[in-house]
Amino acid sequence: MTTHENKLPVHIYADGACSGNQHDKNIGGWGAVLEYGGYMKELHGGERNTTNNRMELTALISALEALTMDGLIVNIYSDSSYVVNCMKRKWYAKWQQNGWRTSAKAPVENRDLWERLLALAGKHICHYFLIKGHLNLSAGDATLRKAYDRFTSNNGAGTSYETFLHSAEMNNRADKLANDGIDGLR
């Protein structure tokens, strides 16, 4: 893989949602915001009879599928510890070694989506950031600073406070898009 000459990163903010997550008849939605330089693209959709985790994965897969070239530096922001922890801690490597089985020998849930995500992410240099979902940006500086401290604790100290606030705003936008996906199926 050749890294694209332009070192400007793509930022992806991805979120999934599911109304009636544990019920037989539910509606899920996913949303993603992609930023590159001064450009922004928004994506969203929905599915019936799904789960929140499937929608979290679908949001990120859809965003990565929207990229038109390989070898990009991609910063991925998600409030899904399911997705971020798997990618950062490389849980998938053990699953693959175990024939797509967990340490408890159970089949890995959402294997189809994990395989798609791994193939797409493998085309780029991806960095994953766990961000608090549904952060109230009007909450006041003390609350926001506390959320920022948690963000840097989870992801390292390399992100400025202003970048964190923008990331939280874009994550909230991705959440809104995910809910638009749900509303589109009602």
> For the chain, which residues make up each domain, given as ranges?
10-183
pLDDT band at 25 (very low <50, low <70, confident <90, very high): confident
Per the rule left: phi > 0, alpha: psi between -120 and 50, beta: everything else, 162 is alpha
122-147: pLDDT as tens digits: 999 999 999 999 999 999 999 999 99
Q: Strand order in 27-36's β-sheet?
A: 39-48, 27-36, 10-19, 73-78, 125-130
Q: What is the pLDDT of residue 64?
A: 98
**What percent of the chain has a predicted confidence (pLDDT) above 90?**
91
What are 14's strand-pairing partners?
32, 78
Q: Residue 1 pLDDT more than 60? A: no
Q: What is the pLDDT of residue 5?
A: 58
Cβ atoms of residues 75 and 127 within 8 Å:
yes
59-75: pLDDT as tens digits: 999 999 999 999 999 99
85-98: pLDDT as tens digits: 999 999 999 999 99
pLDDT band at 21 (very low <50, low <70, confident <90, very high): confident
CATH of 10-183, one of 1.10.240.10, 3.30.420.10, 1.10.3210.10, 2.40.50.140: 3.30.420.10
Cβ atoms of residues 48 and 185 within 8 Å:
yes
